[in-house]
Amino acid sequence: MSTVSTAQPQLLSQINERSVLRILQSSGPCSRADVTRQLGVTAPTVSKAVATLLRSGLLEEFDAPCNGRGRPARQLRLASETAQVLGLVIDAGHCRIVLASLDGTLMDDCEITFNTPDAYPDLIETASGHIESLLRSGVQTLGLGVSLPGLIDSNAQIGLLSPNVPVTNGHSPSRDLSSRLGLPSVLLQECHALCLAERQYGNARRLDDFAMLDATTGVGLGVLTAGRLLTGKNGLAGEIGHLPVKPNGRLCGCGRRGCLETLASDSALARLVSDRLGREIDIEEIVTLVRMGDLAIGRELGQVTKHLAFALATSINLFNPSTLFVCSRMFDLDDSLLDRLREQTEGLALKPSFESCRIERARGSKREGTIAGIIEHLTHSRVQLDMPVSHGIQ
Ligand SMILES: [Zn+2]
């Protein structure tokens, strides 16, 4: 029992630190007195938690304007000038590195894009070189979030099978970059990253039950239920893209044929259009040409939408989300696409499940997901209990 009695004070301190962070995340900057009032604990308890968080670099203090009367009031906020976090999106074709403050504000002029190298050591070498160029003197870099498509063992932090970025199979880019750069890091499955992005930056801010269907490069699903990401035993849940849909269909990156993601993604549309035009064309160029009126893709878009509706109906039937967000550039091709997709999904999904679910376009991005992921990792890791924490404890 001595283990419990010695562990408890440390655990209670961590819970209080997490609670202080939550208040500042949800309410924005506030004074120690405000935090004490909202937490409902004693001032010394808050002071102790704040002191630890200031030492760790997660919080900073600043003088708020005081309308010309009295001394400026000292306020607390998530570190925005004294600390930064980094995100790395690893994807087919290209990778992106982004920089943000701990309150999630992205510094767009610091974004770096590079082609995804063909060899894993080159990926780590190139990414770490770019990341080092973003480290700033006088600003503490607190951590790095890395997103990857495919099957990620979230416990072991290893990419197991990434049909679209196979160069990462069997590797842990987060751990390798962490040891090279001396930074805490976390590896996120990209659909999980998109869920976190939608909750921090998009339209899922107050939602605890929603799903995210990513239909960009491949097709993947992230599900947040009761406020927690559905991961399965070791993080492999949600790989809807490799449902076998078309016997003897197109070869998929996973090695099988006719998987859903070969039929229902931005990449699937690009392949269909490329086949017709007799040249390689990607989704960005398709969007540009269609919007200029120089390319008609109605037939191909109809085919892909039909399969995308199947993916939506399957997600709604299986997981009963309050909102299903869909991430795709195809919405930029046709302003009526979302309505058509809703209609087609209604024809495939179970009626009660469909009627209790809204279908919306996702607003969060993968780059935002890496930042939301590392912020969640840095703030959540202060509490080791697997339970929601809403109140401070003294
Ligand atoms: Zn597949």
Distance 256 CA to ligand 1 centre (A): 5
Alpha carbon 211 to its chain centroid, in Å, reads 12
Distance 33 CA to ligand 1 centre (A): 55
Q: What's the structural domain count of the chain?
A: 3
Question: Model pTM?
Answer: 0.86
Distance 254 CA to ligand 1 centre (A): 4
Distance 15 CA to ligand 1 centre (A): 42
When pLDDT is averaged across residues 345-357 and rounded to a whole number, the result is: 97
Q: Tell which of 78, 95, 121 closes a domain.
A: 78
Q: Tell which of 47, 78, 109 closes a domain.
A: 78
My answer on whether 57 and 129 are in the same domain is no
Distance 133 CA to ligand 1 centre (A): 37
110-139 pLDDT, tens per residue? 999 999 999 999 999 999 999 999 998 889
Distance 366 CA to ligand 1 centre (A): 21
In this predicted structure, what is the pLDDT of residue 384? 38
23-72 pLDDT, tens per residue? 898 888 999 899 999 888 888 999 999 999 999 899 999 887 766 666 66
Distance 267 CA to ligand 1 centre (A): 13
233-271 pLDDT, tens per residue? 988 999 999 999 999 999 998 999 999 999 999 999 999
Task: Let me know if residue 159 belongs to a domain.
Answer: yes
User: Order of strands, edge to edge, in the sheet holding 228-229?
Assistant: 228-229, 220-225, 210-214, 323-327, 358-361
Distance 258 CA to ligand 1 centre (A): 7
Q: Tell which of 39, 61, 78 closes a domain.
A: 78
In this predicted structure, what is the pLDDT of residue 99? 96
My answer on whether 41 and 119 are in the same domain is no
My answer on whether 190 and 232 are in the same domain is no
Sign of the alpha-carbon dihedral angle for 172, 178, 184, 190: negative
Tell me how far apart the alpha carbons of residues 368 and 379 are, in angstroms, rounded to a whole number.
17
Task: Let me know if residue 145 belongs to a domain.
Answer: yes
When pLDDT is averaged across residues 350-376 and rounded to a whole number, the result is: 96
Distance 314 CA to ligand 1 centre (A): 17
Tell me how far apart the alpha carbons of residues 192 and 204 are, in angstroms, rounded to a whole number.
13
Task: Let me know if residue 338 belongs to a domain.
Answer: yes
**Which residues on adjacent β-strands are paired with residue 223?**
211
My answer on whether 315 and 229 are in the same domain is yes
My answer on whether 74 and 88 are in the same domain is no
My answer on whether 69 and 101 are in the same domain is no
When pLDDT is averaged across residues 164-170 and rounded to a whole number, the result is: 95
Q: Is the pLDDT of residue 389 over 70?
A: no
325-338 pLDDT, tens per residue? 999 999 999 999 99
Instruction: Provide the percentage of residues in the chain whose pLDDT is more than 70.
Output: 93
281-326 pLDDT, tens per residue? 999 999 999 999 999 999 999 999 999 999 999 999 999 999 999 9
Distance 257 CA to ligand 1 centre (A): 7
One-letter amino acid for residue 308 of the chain: L
Distance 92 CA to ligand 1 centre (A): 15
CA nearest 103: which of 157, 30, 169, 172?
A: 30
Q: How confident is the model at residue 392 (pLDDT cuts 50, 70, 90)?
A: very low
In this predicted structure, what is the pLDDT of residue 14? 83
Distance 333 CA to ligand 1 centre (A): 26
My answer on whether 162 and 100 are in the same domain is yes
Distance 255 CA to ligand 1 centre (A): 6
My answer on whether 217 and 353 are in the same domain is yes
The CATH number for 99's domain is 3.30.420.40
Distance 137 CA to ligand 1 centre (A): 45
Ion ligand 1: residues, CB within 5 A, are: 242, 252, 254, 259
My answer on whether 147 and 240 are in the same domain is no
Q: Is the pLDDT of residue 104 over 70?
A: yes
My answer on whether 157 and 215 are in the same domain is no
Q: Which domain holds residue 227?
A: 204-362
